[in-house]
Structure 1
Amino acid sequence: MEGSIFSLLPPILALVMVMFTRRVLLSLGVGIVVGAFMINYDSGNVFLESVNQIFSIVDGIFIDDGAINSWELYIIFFLLLLGMIASLIAITGGSRAFGEWALSRVKTRVGAQLITVLLGVIIFIDDYFNSLTVGNVGRPLTDRHRISRAKLAYLVDSTAAPMCVIAPVSSWGAYIITIIGGILVSHSVTQWEALQAFVLIAPMNFYAIFAILMVIAVVYFKLDLGQMRVHEKRAIETGEVVDKKKGAVPGDHGDVSTKKGKVGDLIWPIVTLIVATVFFMITTGIDGSEGDTSILAIFENTDVAAALLYGGLVSLAVTLILSFSRKLGVSEIGFGLWAGIKSMLPAIYILIFAWTIISIIKDLGTGAYLASLVQDTNFNLAYLPVILFIIAGFMAFSTGTSWGTFGIMLPIAGDIAAATDISMMLPVLAAVLAGSIFGDHCSPISDTTILSSTGAGSHHIDHVLTQLPYALMTAGITIVGYLVLGFTGSAVIGFIVAAVVFVIVVVIMKKVVPVLKGA
């Protein structure tokens, strides 16, 4: 079953179950079990072998080749640190004070959302960092304006990855530029350097650009549709920014402040987190660059997980100092730390399940099967950007990893362009990047989608279902742009046509989607 159409069954099954049961862990668990059974179906003891494989994968999340698996563990530790920081900020009254301060200056719901979008655009160093930081900073402000957490998660997620994928000075940019450089060298393409090619590709990443523009349009014109409308209506009318019937959400502490806090109780821990994390990204990047201290080399070799952990520890230290300065007792601080840990456990459980099913999917050869569809199919080259966009999107959706999709699909796209029409090299690479972000936005097993839910304090399934319609509309606009690009050979004409379609879509939405009262 490996490397065949059946390899699509586990991720599709997990998605269908998520949509119908609204129970993420159960759905992911079923996908994991079914995938493990598929891998071991011809072994002597399918049940025992499947159980052993699942336990081996979970063990590998923590221990790899006898050593600590720093990437996954550091991300988990950072989530726990972030939960503790957010909890202490809430207890000291920092979140309440920031909300009151912002409410006196940001008078409208639209303004509160646009500030969140602006933060998402500005903090483009790394998507994990973006999702968790912007969500936590924006939450007090959006809560005060009765903006649902599902809406906040959409604002965060749909600006994080799209910005990171088009910014050369980011962890994503460095990774992509490295892959592109290898592709150009392997095909003896000398007309562009790797960084130059990346800069030229960025405007052709139609999905990333129009995803950001769609967020702005949704906020400014109040285009709340489908499940998003349900969440926004409840938040406006009742003040409940989450659906309380679904239980607690990651990182949510409610109004638990025991002191009259100050704005600085929130600002200083967050500023410290940003400055310290960027500092450690640069230092770990320099250490890994082996003498090459160019900006590109630093971000190519930076250890993002370690930087997040170290930055989180420094921020927690500052938060503890502020907590003691506000006369919080040891018992109150201990309660806050434990409450912060507990608040992050649901997100960590989902993340571990997601990492497990991603490993199962990799063993099934889902990505390799989807890649083979491109290589084995004969078609008009004008359709190449669209086909690669769709395949990359489905691969990222099925595997839950845009980075994994980059690694598999970018070289394949480069091979196809080199063997058919070298002038299509940059457009097809852009199409792969765009499709990867699209699939990532739709996937319930994507780590960035999970962390966006966590940062915003939203139920994960609510975020997935509310973001999906907007992602699909943006993908439709992107497909039109890539069709025009393919047939005309002009990225400029493709972008202009896509922009016109975007405007038409927004105008139609304005006519058919009534504005919520109070929005």
Structure 2
Amino acid sequence: MDYEWLALLPPIIAIGFALWKRQVILSLLVGVFTGATIIAGWNPLKGLLDTFSVYIVEKSLADSWNIGIIVFLLAVGGMIGVIGKMGGTKAIATAIAKKATDVRSTQLATALMGIAIFFDDYANSIVVGNTMRPITDAQNISREKLAYIVDSSAAPVSSMAPISTWIAMELGLIAAGLADVGLSGDAMTVFFQTIPYRFYSLFALVLLFNLIIQRKDYSTMLKAEIRARKTGKVYADGANPLIAEDKNLLPDDGVDGSIWDVIIPITIFLLVTVFGLWYNGYEEGKNFKDSIGNSDASVVLTWAAFIGSIVAGSIGVIKKRFNLSGAMDSWVSGAKSMFTAVIILTLAFALKGVISEMGLDVWLGEIAKDSLNEGFLPLIVFAASMFMAFAIGSSWGTNGILMPIVIPIAAQVSNATGAVTPLMLACMGSVLTGAVFGDHCSPISDTTILSSSASGSDHIDHVRTQMPYAITAAVFAIIFGFIPAGFGLSPWISLILGLISITLFVKFFGKKIDNNGNIVE
């Protein structure tokens, strides 16, 4: 059945209800129920039953990728719980706090850590958020600001990294698109050529570092930062942080941890992730880079989290920070702290199952195809990619739908014969980075949920405070990037102009606050 515009109702209702009532779980459940009822021929009873049996169980939990991410989330929560119990988190927070003497240095350390973990946005969000949360709390940095830094240094970096879990998907779409239009060219080369055209991702990073270095904020984030500095409340009254505080996650009295209690398990986690991605994706004839791109990140991250948990627990037992029962209790407590996030992810996956069955992606793709035209082609593609990613909550799904549509159209419009044209590169970049924008702003996006969870932020507060910054980067990307690119301007000139403009924007529009939460003129 062709649902057309009706396929918009589930995500619109879920997003609207979430922003209105601030009840994420109920909002997602209502969205799934709405879609299930429409699919069931507007039969609400069957829709209710299918909500649980078909979409939550079959479409969400029975999917190997989905359950892999959920198990990973629980396992990494357990690992962080063990590290915290033996005093490791407290020790590294104390060590970094000595050097992170102010808000700026702490935020900068968080952003740089996010860029360093470039190979997977899921691992990025979980590790950076959990590691830096106690340190940013000590500096009275709002959880909303931490979630923004974590989120904005995850997908924008991972999606452009040549060694990452994104690479196979992007290379596959590029190669298939070039083959469809009969163009020669190495997909990896084209991948690198699209990076200067990923204006949103690049400008989002430029904005992030400008806000940190200039120590400024604006809009809803400014209010959150003022609250945190004035009152010490790192999240608002009535907020529902996606992580639970538990005394079992804190070291016992008299236990002094070491920074090595964190460094060793996290290093093992990272090493297992990198080499696990190679091992999982290896096939005869594939090199290291291609093997990583061919891997199943959900499986590898689960390996890494459990092995990291074992290492952390072993360190604690050997150092007599706790016994074996204490190690298990702290692991379970850490996993329990992720329970709310697990429920939200489960429902988000279920909503995506409803959306997919209703064919929202196909319908949006057809609309995008019919609305594209020449000079403003990159802009229109970017807008279509943003909207689709926001509606379906999936950057990967957006890329998979739009790239096969956009590449042939861009090739035809630019009269490509034998080689990839700059307009084609601009359009491919528009899809790949527009998907990241939509993912940043969508309350039903799994990466946005993970950022909220790892940072201990209220999910809707994270979306509300990040959205103005994401929109700012998108506006600069449109003005200085996609419109000029459509008319042939070099992307390098666009990037320079955007860098200068964003720096000046933050300087004159942003507001600096002191440690007491007062605005500094």
TM over 0.5: yes
**TM-score normalised to the size of structure 1?**
0.92
Equivalent residues of 1:84, 1:338 under 8 A apart: yes
Give how far 1:186 is off: 1.7
- Whether 1:492 and 2:486 are equivalent positions in the alignment is no
Give how far 1:63 is off: 6.5
The residue number in structure 2 matching 1:175 is 169
Pick aligned residue for 1:139 from 105, 124, 133: 133
The residue number in structure 1 matching 2:88 is 94
Give the match's secondary structure for 2:215.
coil
Give how far 1:244 is off: 5.5
Deviations 1:328-363 (A, max 9, x none): 144533431232122010000000010011111111
Equivalent residues of 1:285, 1:303 under 8 A apart: yes
Instruction: Measure, in 2, the Cα distance between the counterparts of 1:462 and 1:307.
Output: 31
Instruction: Measure, in 2, the Cα distance between the counterparts of 1:311 and 1:400.
Output: 26
- Whether 1:298 and 2:294 are equivalent positions in the alignment is no
Give how far 1:471 is off: 0.3
- Whether 1:278 and 2:277 are equivalent positions in the alignment is no
Give the match's secondary structure for 2:242.
coil
For the aligned residues, what is the CA RMSD? 2.0
Amino acid at match of 1:453: S
The residue number in structure 2 matching 1:429 is 428
Amino acid at match of 1:39: I
Instruction: Measure, in 1, the Cα distance between the counterparts of 2:371 and 2:305.
Output: 48
TM-aligned CA distance change 1:293 to 1:101, over 3 Å: same
TM-aligned CA distance change 1:312 to 1:359, over 3 Å: same
Equivalent residues of 2:389, 2:435 under 8 A apart: yes
Equivalent residues of 1:136, 1:456 under 8 A apart: yes
Deviations 1:31-86 (A, max 9, x none): 111111222226xx45215522542122225665xxxx432222111111111111
Deviations 1:116-151 (A, max 9, x none): 111111111111111111112222322222212211
The residue number in structure 2 matching 1:184 is 178
- Whether 1:478 and 2:477 are equivalent positions in the alignment is yes
Pick aligned residue for 2:388 from 383, 395, 400: 395
Moved more, 236-245 or 142-151: 236-245
Deviations 1:253-283 (A, max 9, x none): 4772212212122222111111112121111
Equivalent residues of 1:137, 1:270 under 8 A apart: no
Instruction: Measure, in 1, the Cα distance between the counterparts of 2:116 and 2:258.
Output: 25
Moved more, 381-390 or 221-230: 221-230
Deviations 1:387-421 (A, max 9, x none): 01011001000001000111100111101112221
1:195-234 equivalences under 5 Å are 195-234=188-227
Give the match's secondary structure for 1:382.
coil
TM-aligned CA distance change 1:161 to 1:91, over 3 Å: same
Instruction: Measure, in 2, the Cα distance between the counterparts of 1:357 and 1:63.
Output: 12
Equivalent residues of 2:281, 2:291 under 8 A apart: yes
Instruction: Measure, in 1, the Cα distance between the counterparts of 2:240 and 2:406.
Output: 44
Equivalent residues of 2:348, 2:444 under 8 A apart: yes
Amino acid at match of 2:187: A
Equivalent residues of 1:168, 1:174 under 8 A apart: no
Equivalent residues of 2:369, 2:406 under 8 A apart: no
In the alignment, structure 1 segments of 5+ residues that lack a partner are none
Give the match's secondary structure for 1:376.
helix
1:495-514 equivalences under 5 Å are 495-510=495-510, 513-514=511-512
Equivalent residues of 2:210, 2:503 under 8 A apart: no
Give how far 1:248 is off: 5.0
Equivalent residues of 2:32, 2:51 under 8 A apart: no
Amino acid at match of 2:178: L
**TM-score normalised to the size of structure 2?**
0.92
Instruction: Measure, in 2, the Cα distance between the counterparts of 1:278 and 1:183.
Output: 29
Moved more, 454-463 or 331-340: 331-340
The residue number in structure 2 matching 1:125 is 119
Equivalent residues of 1:14, 1:28 under 8 A apart: yes
Equivalent residues of 1:80, 1:341 under 8 A apart: yes
The residue number in structure 2 matching 1:264 is 260
Instruction: Measure, in 1, the Cα distance between the counterparts of 2:183 and 2:215.
Output: 46
Instruction: Measure, in 2, the Cα distance between the counterparts of 1:347 and 1:101.
Output: 29
The residue number in structure 1 matching 2:71 is 77
TM-aligned CA distance change 1:330 to 1:377, over 3 Å: closer
Amino acid at match of 2:172: T
Instruction: Measure, in 2, the Cα distance between the counterparts of 1:321 and 1:153.
Output: 31
Instruction: Measure, in 1, the Cα distance between the counterparts of 2:224 and 2:497.
Output: 33
Give the match's secondary structure for 1:107.
coil
Instruction: Measure, in 1, the Cα distance between the counterparts of 2:52 and 2:410.
Output: 39
Instruction: Measure, in 1, the Cα distance between the counterparts of 2:459 and 2:165.
Output: 25
Amino acid at match of 2:213: Y
Equivalent residues of 1:153, 1:452 under 8 A apart: yes
TM-aligned CA distance change 1:493 to 1:260, over 3 Å: closer
Deviations 1:270-308 (A, max 9, x none): 11111112121111111xx2x023133202211211111
Identity of aligned residues (%): 34
May I ask how many residue pairs the two structures share in their alignment?
Answer: 506
Amino acid at match of 1:443: S
Amino acid at match of 1:77: V
